[in-house]
Chain A
Amino acid sequence: MKLHPKSLFFLLLVCLSFNVLFSQQKFEKEYRIDQTGVPEKAVEIIKDWNFNKKIKWYAEESQDGKTFEAKVCYQKKNISVEFSENGELIDVEKTVKFRDLSEEIQQKIKSSLSERFRKYRIKKIQIQYTGNQKVIYEALFQTKYKEETGINYELIVKGKKEKSYQNFEILINSKGEIEKELLIKSIDFTNLEF
């Protein structure tokens, strides 16, 4: 039987439909939302903090639950304020440049990363403030730090452990020690290549 190329194409199409229908997937979704969809408590905190800038609201859903995030550019720095599903403040992340950090912490971070990687490059760094609303406010707006102010550094690092480079999300504590390391699965960009 001679199979016409077109028939082959449609046969392939039918076979592949099954692949899609029966494949399982992990649930994870991030999307823009209106302020009206955000818990009132979270909106109030953002109003109190008076950034005086446009706030973009996002929701993130996964198996672990739902969180809300307010993103704002304040004093030329990207700030992201994260809230729980019921509007409780979780943390604030401020994107900074590595050289903005104190010399002491820069050295500690460098030495921790050198232990982990043969070669590395910091692609992004965020200071993460945790604690109650008051201490986070003081850390963010008045650069006042108290004993209960939690300070961590969240880094995106392109690093080489053995042969090849990979991207990692790394959480470093205020002493410069690595607390968490997460391999970022490389994005599939076949549709931009071919």
Chain B
Amino acid sequence: MKQYISIIFLLFLSLSIFSQSDFNAGLLPKIVLTKELSDKTKWVNSIESRTIIYDEESQFSHSLVDVTTMYSLKTNTNQSLNFGYIVRFKDNDVIHRTFQHYNFVGSLLSAKLGHRFAFEQFYQTQKQTTFRTRYRASLEKPLNGERVDVNEFYLKFGNEYLYAFDEQDLEIRFTPYLGFQATKKDKIEFGLDYRLSNFIENQTENKLWIRTSWYISL
């Protein structure tokens, strides 16, 4: 398994180094708090900070913080509809975003496959409202046995496609993570979040984030 992780890491590294394009790298820690409201509903809140540690163009570091609140309604045993709001603090700007998700999670013999369809609206003072749509597939597989137990590691691979209507730009994300189920109520994931955008215009932008996500159920 260690080999797989090394190969994926090298693959991302080589993609970033050899492509003739703009490259940024940074840290992306996130904490997600979930509170179950009823059998069918939950309230999810998260805070995510973003720090750029390498920027090819400007070589300086800056950061932003996203605060999210989301209401999730289970429409079936393996499906949900989420409605949320994100406020982004970036330098002196504040960007508001609303989003709607439809999730479908399928159980395979020893893995879970999640599909997420999303639609987002961005609001910013003195700017026009913009829209984005996205689809993500994520596969979660335990490293040992057929299910993820407490104190066990798992792998999570994600592949996401995002389309911004105003910029007419397609962004693709690859996210290999190593997860750890620390207790029944919380899990932590470490990994990479590689984002490729603007490649339609041939001015490809590469972003490589080192991600840590901590999911906690209250």
- Chain A residues within CB distance 8 Å of chain B: 5-6, 8-9, 12-13, 16, 19-20, 23, 25-32, 58, 158, 164-167, 186-194
Q: Which residues of B contact A188 (CB under 8 A)?
A: 34, 217
| Dominant secondary structure at the B interface | strand
Q: Do the beta carbons of B40 and A190 come within 8 Å of each other?
A: no
Supplied contacts A16-B214, A30-B146, A194-B46, 5 more A-B pairs, CB within 8 Å: A6-B63, A9-B31, A19-B186, A30-B149, A192-B114
A20-B182, A31-B145, A58-B146 known; A194+B63 contact, CB < 8 A: no
Q: Which residues of B contact A26 (CB under 8 A)?
A: 184
Q: Which residues of A contact B29 (CB under 8 A)?
A: 9
A19 to B185, CA, bound (A): 10
Q: Do the beta carbons of A192 and B112 come within 8 Å of each other?
A: yes
Shortest Cβ distance from B188 into A: residue: A20
A6 to B67, CA, bound (A): 12
A189 to B80, CA, bound (A): 10
| Dominant secondary structure at the A interface | mixed
Q: What's the nearest-Cβ distance from chain A to residue B99, in Å?
A: 10
Q: Which residues of A contact B215 (CB under 8 A)?
A: 190-191
Q: What's the nearest-Cβ distance from chain B to residue A11, in Å?
A: 10
Q: Which residues of A contact B147 (CB under 8 A)?
A: 30
Shortest Cβ distance from B186 into A: residue: A20
Q: Does B208 contact A (CB under 8 A)?
A: no
Q: What's the nearest-Cβ distance from chain B to residue A132, in Å?
A: 28
Q: What's the nearest-Cβ distance from chain B to residue A151, in Å?
A: 25
Instruction: Provide 16 A-B residue pairs closer than 8 Å at the C-beta atoms, listed in order of the A residue.
Output: A5-B49, A6-B49, A6-B65, A12-B47, A16-B216, A19-B216, A31-B145, A32-B144, A164-B39, A186-B77, A187-B107, A189-B105, A190-B42, A190-B44, A193-B105, A193-B114
Which 6 residue pairs of A and B lie closest in terms of their CB atoms, listed nearest first? A192-B114, A5-B65, A31-B145, A30-B145, A29-B149, A193-B103
Q: Which residues of A contact B211 (CB under 8 A)?
A: none
Q: Does B132 contact A (CB under 8 A)?
A: no
Q: Does B100 contact A (CB under 8 A)?
A: no
Shortest Cβ distance from A4 into B: residue: B65
A31 to B184, CA, bound (A): 17
Q: Which residues of B contact A8 (CB under 8 A)?
A: 47, 65
B residues 161-218 near A (Cβ < 8 Å) are 179, 182-187, 189, 213-218
